[in-house]
Structure 1
Amino acid sequence: MAKLEMFEGLELPAAADFHVHLRDGPMMQAVTPTVRRGGVDTVFVMPNLVPPITTVEAALAYKKRLQTVEPNVNYLMSLYLHPDISPDTVREAKSSGQIYGIKSYPAGVTTNSASGVVDYEAFYDVFRAMEECDLVLNLHGEAPPTPPTGERDGSDAVTVLNAEERFLPTLADLHRRFPKLRIVLEHCTTAKAVEAVRRCGPNVVGTITAHHLFLTVDDWAGDPINFCKPVAKLPSDRVELLRAVVDGSGKFFFGSDSAPHLLNAKMGLTDGGLGAGKCAAGVFTQPNAIGFVLESIEQAVEVGIVEQNAVTNDVVTGVLGGYGRKFYKIGEPDKKIRIVGKGVEIKNVRVTNLHGNMEEAQGMADTVVTFRSGKNTYGVEWL
């Protein structure tokens, strides 16, 4: 655990988080106010609701619902890459001035991805229109899972551990075919993903989450609270993520992929609390997002993974919003935050209106567990 001293009193522009899940309904009501609690004033909002956001009208209606809950956040909206998306949809999205990207989920790889992509070639016309309109393509960079298909040693199978690596040729191919298309390889988890982003031109960047700066495979195997997609990988991969965060290249910036789930879903329980299913994929970090990133950097310095002289104010400001704002071509914030050291307690979030009555909150059925709940991390003050 870091000493929570390195960043004490540091003043920064309001942070930006370029990958958030804010859900809808009661869950949206509970988690959207935590955006600013984490020191963030701008978020890139994921479209994987049920049903997914595939029209400009639906995206703008969703934005209005979010603004009703928390009007002091700048919501950058997105569409879900889907057969209903056409080049005309792209042009309409661009002309709205409120939709900044289209998110690609490979079919079946994570939460609410059943409507995802099977064949990228089917969307080439959409990608050409995105190039012309200068709209960002956001890639969930994993190949869908497949069983062994002929290799005796099973090396041709795609699993949660190699799904990101197997996707990287697709990233390279899309960048080659559409060199002017701005692409984000989201939530990088491996050294090979970091290397792949670096090999691409300036139109390709990567986001890195807070939780992947802490976790490795042993932290989620057997612990559903830390289970997400893509899963955390090896200690050597975590080291490369930490180094990428402070490399000053501008190619990597913060996207939390904060994904709230009720505790019973994280534990794989049915509605009645009996039986077991698969635990929900997603780690919730929103209330403490900036604190987690800073704490992970401090830990990396303390153990010698990162040199302290590499952690300049410009680098911290860039990773926590500056690089992403430049890539998405949005303005600088007019508010600042101050980092509070010595720690604030990490607390869970209660979704109190699921049953229409605040008195009916029932623990596991109403609680969203925050990453590293019960521990301390850096806090933020708004200036």
Structure 2
Amino acid sequence: MAETIYLSKLEELELPATFDAHVHLRDGEMSELVTPTVRMGGVNMVYVMPNLVPPVTTVKQCLEYRDRLRAIEPNVEYLMSLYLHETITPEVIVEAKKAGITGVKSYPAGVTTNSSSGVLDYESFYPVFAEMERQNMVLNLHGEVPSTPSHAPTSTSSNPSITVLNAEPAFLPTLLTLHKKFPQLRIILEHCTTAAALDAVRLCGPSVAGTLTAHHLSLVIDDWAGDPFCFCKPVAKTPEDRDALLKAVSDKQSRGRFFLGTDSAPHPAVKKRGEDRVAAGVFTQPYATGYVLDALEKAVERGVVEKEDVTREVLEGFLGKWGQKFYQVEDKREERIVVKRQKEKIRDVLKKEGGSVEVVPFRRGESTWSVEWK
């Protein structure tokens, strides 16, 4: 019988280390600041996004980037990805596989941070996807149709019916088409935000999964409409959509199809509140595991999730095992963490002495579960 975890009654809980299947660790000074926070959040394995400037489009760039991350924090396993770009060919995919690169991330052109070099036409990449299917690599999809013509030069971006609120549902036919064309290609619909996205993943075979972020398990439209530090792409949607995400964590019908990918995306504080255009991204890395536990506990309190459905299997699965199974990787470190109730005050700002970059974490000034390594 599954062990139910009554979060509201717990003071501490031991778990395997968390696997975060979607992180932005940037480069340079920002990377020096945020990469050490991976383990602060109870995480020892991450899947790293390639949308640097310039984007990571070659095997050499990718391996050099991994070396820089390892030099900053060697006690984390970094799974690496390439940026889907016109220079990515089937031959590059073969080279990437041999080099141990895990997957390729697709951004629709202009849809989010550092995506100006993204995809204009998915069909032109069919030979690349076919080779990825043969090489058993992962295709990660940012599942939105661009909605702002001024910085998204695609045919769909001029469609006045596309907004940040329906950009994800408008993309879902593309997911279904890709899965039908390449049924064995492992595809992840990243950072799902709508009930429609969850349903689309469920319609597909087991080669398709979805990631859920810690902040989307908590936020709705009104949160980001009034707070730039809650603004990301894709944006948080309705309360009904948020509750559908929470249910998907423990839903027996789709158990294992959705797992944690925080999409933790640090930006300098000035770009979140001091410029004309607000940067899209929510920074959650230092408190990743605690945020998820908080969201599930509140979901149980509100009656959205049945308390009996929050089992050890669900927590360990969503926070690590299901993602590792889909990615076909193992946590060779076999590390464990102990989380303790409300023992951690979330910093107002993250900065290094003498550094010029400051980042504001999600839910600044509040409290969450602390993490200790065993």
Per the shorter chain, which TM-score range? over 0.9
Q: In the alignment, which residue of structure 2 is the partner of 1:309?
A: 308
RMSD of aligned alpha carbons:
1.6
Q: In the alignment, which residue of structure 2 is the partner of 1:265?
A: 271
1:27 aligns with 2:30: yes
Q: In the alignment, which residue of structure 2 is the partner of 1:323?
A: 322
Q: Deviations over 1:19-57 (max 9, x none)?
A: 000000010000000000000000000000000000111
Question: Which of 91, 96, 99 is matched with 1:96 structurally?
Answer: 99
1:281 aligns with 2:284: no
After TM superposition, give the deviation of residue 246 of structure 1 in Å: 1.4
TM-score (norm 2): 0.93
Task: Tell me the distance in 2 between the aligned counterparts of 1:123 and 1:13.
Answer: 38
Question: Which of 4, 12, 15 is matched with 2:15 structurally?
Answer: 12
After TM superposition, give the deviation of residue 4 of structure 1 in Å: 6.8
List gaps (5 residues or longer) in structure 1. Answer: 148-153, 270-276
Other structure's SS at 2:216 match: helix
Letter in 1 for 2:196: K
Other structure's SS at 1:211 match: coil
Task: Tell me the distance in 2 between the aligned counterparts of 1:330 and 1:369.
Answer: 32
Task: Tell me the distance in 2 between the aligned counterparts of 1:123 and 1:90.
Answer: 12
Letter in 1 for 2:266: P
After TM superposition, give the deviation of residue 339 of structure 1 in Å: 1.1
Bigger shift: residues 168-177 or 3-12: 3-12
Contact 2:267–2:359 at 8 Å: present in 1 too? Answer: yes
Residues 21-170 of structure 1 aligned to structure 2 (within 5 Å): 21-97=24-100, 99-145=101-147, 157-170=161-174
Contact 2:103–2:138 at 8 Å: present in 1 too? Answer: yes
Other structure's SS at 1:321 match: helix
> In the superposition, relative to structure 1, how do residues 7 and 39 fare at CA in structure 2: closer, same or farther (>3 Å)?
farther
Task: Tell me the distance in 2 between the aligned counterparts of 1:145 and 1:57.
Answer: 33
Letter in 2 for 1:250: G
Q: Deviations over 1:152-173 (max 9, x none)?
A: xx99621100000000000000
Contact 2:345–2:367 at 8 Å: present in 1 too? Answer: yes
Letter in 2 for 1:257: D
Question: Which of 358, 361, 374 is matched with 1:370 structurally?
Answer: 361
Question: Which of 348, 360, 380 is matched with 2:371 structurally?
Answer: 380
Task: Tell me the distance in 2 between the aligned counterparts of 1:195 and 1:217.
Answer: 21
Task: Tell me the distance in 1 between the aligned counterparts of 2:76 and 2:243.
Answer: 32
After TM superposition, give the deviation of residue 343 of structure 1 in Å: 3.0
Contact 1:216–1:232 at 8 Å: present in 2 too? Answer: yes
Task: Tell me the distance in 2 between the aligned counterparts of 1:175 and 1:160.
Answer: 24
Letter in 1 for 2:53: V
Contact 2:267–2:281 at 8 Å: present in 1 too? Answer: yes
Question: Which of 202, 212, 228 is matched with 2:216 structurally?
Answer: 212
Other structure's SS at 1:10 match: strand
Contact 1:4–1:377 at 8 Å: present in 2 too? Answer: no
> In the superposition, relative to structure 1, how do residues 6 and 93 fare at CA in structure 2: closer, same or farther (>3 Å)?
farther
Contact 2:22–2:263 at 8 Å: present in 1 too? Answer: yes
Letter in 2 for 1:198: R
Q: In the alignment, which residue of structure 1 is the partner of 2:152?
A: none
Q: In the alignment, which residue of structure 2 is the partner of 1:186?
A: 190
Letter in 1 for 2:302: V
Task: Tell me the distance in 2 between the aligned counterparts of 1:237 and 1:295.
Answer: 18
Contact 2:217–2:292 at 8 Å: present in 1 too? Answer: yes
Letter in 2 for 1:342: Q
Q: In the alignment, which residue of structure 2 is the partner of 1:203?
A: 207
Task: Tell me the distance in 1 between the aligned counterparts of 2:143 and 2:172.
Answer: 7
Other structure's SS at 1:112 match: coil
Bigger shift: residues 45-54 or 239-248: 239-248
Bigger shift: residues 100-109 or 154-163: 154-163
TM-score (norm 1): 0.91
Letter in 2 for 1:141: G
Q: In the alignment, which residue of structure 1 is the partner of 2:297?
A: 298
Letter in 1 for 2:264: S
After TM superposition, give the deviation of residue 342 of structure 1 in Å: 3.1
Task: Tell me the distance in 1 between the aligned counterparts of 2:167 and 2:10.
Answer: 35
> In the superposition, relative to structure 1, how do residues 193 and 368 fare at CA in structure 2: closer, same or farther (>3 Å)?
same
Task: Tell me the distance in 2 between the aligned counterparts of 1:13 and 1:284.
Answer: 23
Other structure's SS at 2:226 match: coil
State the identity %.
58
Task: Tell me the distance in 1 between the aligned counterparts of 2:349 and 2:80.
Answer: 24
Task: Tell me the distance in 1 between the aligned counterparts of 2:113 and 2:176.
Answer: 25
List gaps (5 residues or longer) in structure 2. Answer: 1-5, 150-157
Q: Deviations over 1:190-209 (max 9, x none)?
A: 00001111111000000000
